[in-house]
Structures are given as C-alpha cells and as structure tokens.
Structure 1
Amino acid sequence: MTVSRLDEAKRIEAAIVAAGGHLPEEHRHLLRGARRVDTSESVNVPAEVEQSVPAALEAPTFADYAEQHVANLTGVEEGYRAQYRRDVARHMTPVFGDLPLTAVNRSLVRGWLRGLEAGTHPWLVGRPPLAYRTRKRLATEAGAVMRAALADELIVRDPFVGVRVGKPEHTASRQETIRALTHDEWRRLEAELPAGVYRDLATVAVGTGLRWSELTALECRHVVLDDGRPRVEVRQAWKDTRAGKADRYEIGRPKSDRSVREVTVGAGVAQVLARLVADRPEDAYVFTTPATSGTHAGRQGGAPIRSANYRHRVWAPAVARVFPHGRGVRFHDLRHTHASWLINAGRPLTEVQRRLGHESIQLTSDTYGWLLPSSTDAAVAAIEAAMAAEAEVA
C-alpha cells in the first residue's frame, strides 16, 4: 500500500504504530519536517501490518472525539466547558489531535506530559513550563476523553492508566499563603476605602465570609432583616463563561451544594445592608457601581461590580496606603479574616465550615486548622507532661 498525501501519511504511520508495526526508516523524514517536505513522496506500508491499518483509520481523531465528549458533558457550567475546549485546542491538539484515537499510546502520552513539564510543548515555546496543578488538570481532561472512548469500544486500552504526571513543585504552606487581618489592620484599611458602596462591599465581606462571586451576586431579596435573625441567603453566584466577550459573566449556582446557605450577620453589618437595600426592587443587585446608566440601569440603577475594576481602582490603592512596605492583601483575604476571627473567638470548625460554605469539614480543617490555638496548646502541654514524667523516672 502506498500513500502520497502527507496528512494521510501521518495517519497511516500512527495506525501502523498502534498496530505494533514500524514506519520504514527511509520515510521517517516525512513526519519530522512535516509540512515542508515534498508531498509527492510516498510512504510504503509494510505488508505484514497492512491489514491492521484500515480498522485503525476508521477510529475518529482525538480532536474530533474530544469535541464530541466536551459537548455532551452534563451537569457542568458553560465556563468549565469553554475551559475544557481551550485546553484541548492549546495543549492536546498540537500533539495528538489529528491522530486516530487508536494511535494515542502510552509512549505518546508520556512524551506529551514531559513536554508540558519541561516547557518543550509547542504551545509553551517562549513561555514558562506549566505548574503541576495545571498539568494534573490537563492529564485528567485528556484521560477522561480516552476513558470515554474505551467505554464506546473505540479503543481497547486506556493509555493514561498508570502514567504519572510528575512530582509537584514546592508550594507555599497554608501559613504562607493565608493573610488574615488583625482588627486594627482591618479598621485602618476600612477607613482608607472610599465611603459608600465600595467600602460597604468590603465591610459585608468581612462580616459574612462570602466569596466575591457570591457577594456581588446578592440581590435585595436575599437580604432578610425583618424577622429578628438578620442574614443573607446565598442562592447564586457569578460564573465566568470564559467566552472571550465583553460581558462574559453570567449568574449560576454557587460553587457547591454546601455553598447554598444562610449566613447570619451582626448589627453593624445588618445596618449597612439595610441602607443598601432600602427602597430598591427585590431583583436589584445589592452591590452596584454608582453609575445610573448602562445595560443594567433599568433593573438595578447601576452595573454589577467586577473584580478587576474594583481591584485596580479601589482595593489596590487603599492597600498600598495602609501597607506600603508589607505583604499585599487580596480581597479574598477578607474571607480568611472572617474565618480567623471566628476561630480565635473559640468557634468550632463545623460552624466555620457552614458559614464559609465549604463542601467538607476536611477542607476547613486543612485550610484553617493550624489557626486553632487549642491544638497547639494541647500539643505543648502533652510534650511538657511527657518530659516531666521522664525527669521523675530519672
């Protein structure tokens, strides 16, 4: 069998490899220089594997099947679907997107992962290598495509089984990454924020521990102040569709089932919320820009506050004035501050979990357990008691 077109030669070679054969050495240059060679050259397929080639070529390409897989995913946000498609296009298609599923073998997968780690992957030329977590996500996504192909009986084995992504690089500990403000630091930062909705946004964040996406998606109907138990009801959150358009955010469900919750507030935060929702329609967003014109004006009297705009125009300047030489403070650190104050006040981790909307107590413990003064005090007391007992015996 002879093949003249280069792209067909690639598919034939991949099919031969999948079938256990080898491309003759004299023709391997067709697949190295790829599109620069004379496509009139031919590839001679060894007769002993010729019968295996047609079946391999009938399998869809990885790129085509991956698109089908992503399009048919259920129970996912559109932002996740868009990210999945982007990952396939950037990181998978350049290496094995044009190959039949049957040609994606363990050797190819290992080489792909090594390229992502070393920075030799085509998309990474001129860019730094990918972090371990990103490589892990890509391997999970590509592996899911191949597992679906295995379930559809398009391949006979999953090439991702037993393949390691590599070792994670050193990452900062929780103690290094979490920045919880003291009461004095918060008072100084609060005073530097411009009075009005932008300061109120930060105040409610500290008082509730809500995520940015939850906080800015609150509508007036989600604020309950008239039954003796002031609270906010978290029922929705902004989702980034990653669609590349100007208004790429849309309202969706919170991060997890546990994130759908009610968070009680104190008198000070309740007073701020009462001012924000007074004489406004139930479907108005609680936090909006001061502008009264624009797409959202008819519904809420202003546009939703977006994180990038708030961070650059409001948050970063205030932080720089309060901490000119110190470590920066992110808006998300107000959530950590909320948790830290609860823990320092002796509240149990289960209560912190419920207020923050964590899916599991393990997540809360892993994130904030080191803040528990009782755990370290008890450990020290245990060591002291053991050392004292040893001294008495001696």
Structure 2
Amino acid sequence: MASIVERPKADGSITYQVRWRDGGGRTSKVETENFDNPESADQFRDLVNAHKQHWPHGWVRGQGFVEEEAIPGDQPLMDFAHRYVSRLTNVEDRTQEDYERDLRLHISRLVHTTLTGLVVPATVCNVVADDIQDWVRLQKKGIEDPERPGEWLYRKADPKSIRNRHGLLYCVFQAAIDTDPQLRTKNPCKGTDLPRMDNETEEEMCFLERAEFDRIRAEIRDPDAVDMVDWLVTSGTRWGEASALQVRDLNLHSERPTASIVRAWKKAPKGSQRAYLLGPPKTKKARRILRLSPAQVEMLRRRTAGLPVDAFVFQTSQGNAWHHANFYNRKWQPAVKAAVAKGLPKAPRIHDLRHTHVAWLIAARVPLPKIQSRLGHESISTTVDRYGHLLEGLDDELSDVVEAMLSVPLQQGLRVVREA
C-alpha cells in the first residue's frame, strides 16, 4: 500500500512524499510523487491504492492530471449517431427503428471518463477505448435495483445483443472518421473485448436425430403443417423465407430442379396496418438458389398443382399464408409437448429445424463452405462459429480411419511414386 513520508526542507518547510512499489510487489521499483500539503498527498495516495499500486491513469509526474482540450467540430455523440441512422438508405424502415431504439436505450448510456476521473457526456471526439469497454461491461452486468431485490434498473444483455449494439456504434464512429472534415482518426471500438457467444449458442441450439424429428412429426395431424416442417428440416431455410416461398420461385420441371430464395417476411414499421411485410432476404447472400431432391420435388408439385404463380407454396387449409405465432401455437408446440410427454428428451423451437438440417449435412460430410452457401450466411466465419463444434463428433470416425491405415503393412498399403 502507498504511504506518506514527511521530508523537511532546508528552509523549514515540509515536502509530503507519497511512496509505493509499482504493482505492489516486494521487489518492484519504488515510485514517488511529492506534494506541498498533506491533503493533496492523502488524495494521491488513495488514487494509487485505487489503481492497485500503479500510477493513476492520466497523471503526469510532477504536473498532475492534464486537462483535456476541446476539439474543434466536436459534438454530442447521440446527436451525430441519430443523424447517421436517419440517413441510412440501404436498410428497411423496421431495421432503422430498431437502430433508433438501440441508440435511445443502450448507446445513450455510453459516457466518457476524463483523466481526472470525472464522468462526462460522450461526444464524437472524447470517447476512448476504455469508455467502450466500460460500456460493454455495463451491458454484461446490468444494474440491479437496490431497493427491489431481483429487479433491474437496467437489465443485463446477452452476448449477441451486446455485439449487435457494438457493431452499430462501430459504424457511427467510422462515419465520424469518414466524414469531411474528419472528426476522428481512430475508431475506439476497434479491439474491444466482447463477450463470447459460443457457450450461449451451444445452450440455445437444439439438434435433432432423425428418429427424434420423426417423433415430433408423427404428432402433427395437419398434412399442410407436416409439409412445412418437412421443408424446413430438409431445406434449412429460415421460417420467414419458407413461409414467403411462392410458386414462381420454383423450377420443378428441369433436369436440375431448384427453389429460389428471393423474399422473406419482415416486421412492418410501427404504425403500419400489418404486422409483417414481404421484403428481400436477411442479407445479400441469403438470396440464393437451392437444389431440390426428388422427394422435395414430389411434395412441391403436389402442393402447387393448380395454384397461380403468386400463391404461397405453404398455406393453411383455408389457403392463407402461415404466420409464425399461429403455426407455433397450434401445430408445432402441441406436437413437441406430446412428444416430450412420451419421452422425447428435447423441446426444440421451429428454428432448431434449421440447426438440425446443418447437423445432418455435417454428418453426411458436406463441407462447411457448401453449408454456408446453402444457409445463406454472409461469411464462412458465421457458419464455423455456430456449427464448427459439430465437426468434433467426427473425430472418432476419423481416428478409426487412421487406425485402419496404420494396420495395413507398409509395403502393401503405401506406394511411393518417383518422378522420372
């Protein structure tokens, strides 16, 4: 711990010297700082102790904290962020509303801590990497209500939400770098230590064996609903893509029958008369063409016989497009509950049929790049992050292959081809 030593001077005055070992180690370098009065020495000693026996951040030896200077053109971060989001042109209205909500509820909590330890509102220019890290930590921990146990003043966020908000904030600061005149030269969001998603992803995902899927399927009495779950698990499409599939998206009579994923249901902007609207798929690479199997072709031909080109492929018995809540509450959830009551150890969501599709492809040795293309992932890293751990299930089979190779006598099992 830091201590204070009084050192008399020749003129009779006293210098109050704060002494400590850097980092607190017994053999570490001795650091000192001098003060003319005991009050200042006491404050500095407490700062050193609070910084775990290191120089306080921003303190200049012999000078103290150096005040930050205002930067020309600086402005409140939230003002700049709202202008940035309002001028986005390549996002849907609902997405823009979600961005505004994240600004209002979460990014607005970002503050800047000055070199003197003073907390001030965030501006475009004053935010540093430590401020971003503190903001991420706040979201991860949340703020509990001290007066109401179990309640939250600010509820902690899951890793995916934190990463999404951080991504938006990154874009805001990048816009400040790219603007003319330039407001920043460095993005403070670069290098942020973000919470990992792998543990949460594994807990949330549910992969079904073929027999487990069949047990749920057997509990669905509606043949139209059976066709829908069959399509979801054999195509790997998202619910919004599958329920938006139209007759004109199918090519069933060529040698290579296909289904084009070109639209999906999207949440409508607030105030709209409808809850969902048709729009493009989730990302650019989500617009894709799926090769169909003979079984899929047979099912799709049966479903689309006599339908107009703009009709939805998967419809209710009344001829309407399926809505997720309707399908989940009336078809999927009752079937899952019935299967669980009969011994099924899992309770999958509808989206888990997409995860199950991937698990079956990996078990069949389909390479991850092909799976990425089939799922419409924007990046192969997304596919690897979410499903790469399933490859570990093939380790035993791979080791068996290696063992078989080694069990063959070398003179019979290996041939060396020499170049002439």
Given the two structures, how large is their TM-score scaled by the length of structure 2? 0.65
Taking the aligned partners of 1:267 and 1:320, their CA distance within structure 2 comes to: 31
Match of 1:267 in 2: 294
Deviations along 1:56-81, one digit per CA (max 9) or x if unpaired, are 6x744322221110122243333332
Q: Which amino acid aligns with 2:95?
A: Y
Taking the aligned partners of 1:323 and 1:351, their CA distance within structure 2 comes to: 33
Q: 1:308 aligns with which of 325, 329, 334?
A: 325
Q: How does 1:209-288 map to 2 (within 5 A)?
A: 209-241=236-268, 243=270, 245=272, 247-288=274-315
Taking the aligned partners of 1:75 and 1:128, their CA distance within structure 2 comes to: 31
Q: How does 1:182-197 map to 2 (within 5 A)?
A: 182-197=209-224
- 1:250 deviates by 2.4
Gaps of 5+ in 1: 1-48, 292-300, 388-394
Q: 1:81 aligns with which of 83, 92, 96?
A: 96
CA contact (8 A) 2:286 2:378 kept: yes
Structure 1 residues 383 and 260, CA gap change in structure 2 (3 angstroms): same
Structure 1 residues 109 and 311, CA gap change in structure 2 (3 angstroms): same
Taking the aligned partners of 1:248 and 1:109, their CA distance within structure 2 comes to: 35
How many residues are matched?
326
Match of 1:65 in 2: 80
Q: Residue 193 of structure 1: SS of its match in structure 2?
A: coil
| Identical pairs, percent | 27
- 1:336 deviates by 2.7
Q: 1:377 aligns with which of 388, 397, 406?
A: 397
Is 1:356 the counterpart of 2:375 in the alignment?
Answer: yes
Taking the aligned partners of 2:339 and 2:132, their CA distance within structure 1 comes to: 50
Match of 1:116 in 2: 139
- The structure where strand makes up a greater share of residues is 2
- 1:371 deviates by 4.3
Match of 2:107 in 1: 92
Bigger-Rg structure (1/2): 2
Is 1:160 the counterpart of 2:188 in the alignment?
Answer: yes
CA contact (8 A) 1:101 1:154 kept: no
Taking the aligned partners of 1:205 and 1:157, their CA distance within structure 2 comes to: 47
Q: Residue 277 of structure 2: SS of its match in structure 1?
A: strand
Match of 2:352 in 1: 333
Structure 1 residues 115 and 309, CA gap change in structure 2 (3 angstroms): same
Deviations along 1:18-57, one digit per CA (max 9) or x if unpaired, are xxxxxxxxxxxxxxxxxxxxxxxxxxxxxxx9xx77x76x
Structure 1 residues 188 and 241, CA gap change in structure 2 (3 angstroms): same
Structure 1 residues 377 and 244, CA gap change in structure 2 (3 angstroms): farther
CA contact (8 A) 1:343 1:372 kept: no
Structure 1 residues 341 and 155, CA gap change in structure 2 (3 angstroms): closer
Structure 1 residues 289 and 166, CA gap change in structure 2 (3 angstroms): same
- 1:242 deviates by 5.8
CA contact (8 A) 2:129 2:192 kept: no
Gaps of 5+ in 2: 1-65, 112-119, 146-150, 408-420
Deviations along 1:250-289, one digit per CA (max 9) or x if unpaired, are 2222233433222233333323222321222111111233
- The structure where helix makes up a greater share of residues is 1
- 1:90 deviates by 0.6
Q: Which amino acid aligns with 1:196?
A: P
Taking the aligned partners of 1:232 and 1:197, their CA distance within structure 2 comes to: 19
Structure 1 residues 280 and 149, CA gap change in structure 2 (3 angstroms): same
Taking the aligned partners of 1:197 and 1:345, their CA distance within structure 2 comes to: 28
Deviations along 1:73-109, one digit per CA (max 9) or x if unpaired, are 2433333322211100111235559765445456654
Taking the aligned partners of 1:365 and 1:149, their CA distance within structure 2 comes to: 32
Q: Which amino acid aligns with 2:136?
A: L
Structure 1 residues 305 and 74, CA gap change in structure 2 (3 angstroms): same
Q: Which amino acid aligns with 2:291?
A: T
- 1:374 deviates by 5.2
- 1:317 deviates by 0.8
Deviations along 1:306-345, one digit per CA (max 9) or x if unpaired, are 2222112211110111123522112122223333333434
CA contact (8 A) 2:144 2:153 kept: no
Match of 1:321 in 2: 338
Q: Residue 398 of structure 2: SS of its match in structure 1?
A: helix
Q: Which amino acid aligns with 2:398?
A: A
Structure 1 residues 340 and 76, CA gap change in structure 2 (3 angstroms): same
Match of 1:208 in 2: 235
Structure 1 residues 119 and 222, CA gap change in structure 2 (3 angstroms): same
Taking the aligned partners of 2:404 and 2:154, their CA distance within structure 1 comes to: 52
Q: Residue 216 of structure 2: SS of its match in structure 1?
A: helix
